[in-house]
Amino acid sequence: WDNEYVNGNYESSNENSYYSTRTINNSSNKYGNNQQDQQRNNRSYSKNNHSSSQHQTLKTNSNVMSQSMNHTNERTTNDQIHISSHALSYAVESHLPSFKLECDPKLQQQQQDGTVLVKELFKLIENDFRKNNKDYKKPLRFDYWYIDQQGDLICFVKQVELFVYFCDISHYPGKINDCEIKPLLPKKLPPQYSIIIKFVNNNLSVQDIKEELTTSYSSIYIIEELNGSKSNKNRHVRVDMKSKEDYNKIMNGSVVITHGQCFNVNEFLQVPKLLLCSRCNGPGHIKKICKSPMEICRRYGKNRRDGEDHTECVVKCHYCQGERISTNYQYPVLADYRFKLVTEL
């Protein structure tokens, strides 16, 4: 009985071990299947992730390529724009304004009174002018002068040095051949004698700046705010100087100290002028060499010689069909041409 009991118990234990072993094997197989499924899911996820990353990479590369192509097209367009030497010289050419000499008594005869007065004026100023401008080798003369209806002398010069010299009232004699002269000076000097003081605080007035700078630089001609540069905190100030020595001194120092503050200084660069054809309204050439078969209206683009009134026609650019005249600087062709012109300068 004991043996049977033992055997039965033994057999039952064997059966239990069998079932338990089978259960363990099944669970291990199930765990293995789950592990395989997880690996399969991981491979699927990695594959999907790899494909999405490839798609994202291709999309990014396409964007980069499109941006690069756009940049290349813009560069090619700018490279295709030709800037002629005539356009360059016209862009930087500056016509000096005239200045007036009021005479008492008034001048009557152009050849007699005017010629005698001009010759005597240059005789009186020649030594002092040569002393202040030692590198100037040209003869002293006006490029053009005439007597206006009031009997005063209107004078034009093209040389910057001579123009700046005549902008100083102390360089004029009080009387020439019993004729008293009173010069009416221009408002500004040429850009070669102008500097820009940048980011000057708004609490400093122009008069305060002028009073302090005059103590160090006696050749200051005019000080004024630069149009379009004023903000809530500061603005740029333009300073014209009659002496090239003072101008070079300030530019070499690169700073100006006023009221205990230091401000940066730059040279004043004049805005370049665009050479526009009066026949086709295109940039870079003149009417004489234009190849357009007709004179084009800049408002609507029709023939300007067709007999219609083109001062009241519809405003429509004949290049881009926009609501602006064809010579407007907002037109992309003129904007690209201006950018290329500034780059060449």
Is pLDDT above 50 for 76?
no
Residues 36 and 54 placed together within one structural domain of the fold: yes
223 band by pLDDT with thresholds 50, 70 and 90: very high
In a domain, 90, yes or no: no
Question: Which of 50, 80, 110 is a domain's end point?
Answer: 80
What backbone torsions phi and psi does residue 130 show, to the nearest 5 degrees? -65, -30
The predicted model gives 50-62 an average pLDDT of 45
Residues 203 and 277 placed together within one structural domain of the fold: no
In a domain, 86, yes or no: no
State the sign of the Cα–Cα–Cα–Cα dihedral 312, 317, 319, 321. negative
State the Cα–Cα distance between residues 162 and 139, nearest whole angstrom: 10
In a domain, 92, yes or no: no
In a domain, 93, yes or no: no
The predicted model gives 265-284 an average pLDDT of 87
Residues 30 and 52 placed together within one structural domain of the fold: yes
> How many Å separate Cα 190 from the centre of its chain?
19
Is pLDDT above 90 for 171?
yes
Residues 149 and 206 placed together within one structural domain of the fold: no
Q: What is the pLDDT of residues 194-220, one digit of tens each?
A: 999 999 999 999 999 999 999 999 999
Residues 198 and 170 placed together within one structural domain of the fold: no
Question: Which of 220, 244, 267 is a domain's end point?
Answer: 267
Q: What percent of the chain has pLDDT over 70?
A: 76
In a domain, 242, yes or no: yes
Residues 103 and 141 placed together within one structural domain of the fold: yes
Q: What is the pTM of this model?
A: 0.65
Question: Which of 158, 184, 210 is a domain's end point?
Answer: 184
How many domains would you assign to the chain?
Answer: 4
DSSP 208-275: HHHHHHHHH-TTEEEEEEPTT---SSEEEEEEEES-HHHHHHHHHH-EEEETTEEEEEEE--PPPPP-
In a domain, 85, yes or no: no
Average pLDDT, the chain: 78
**Domain containing residue 12:** 1-80
Residues 118 and 171 placed together within one structural domain of the fold: yes
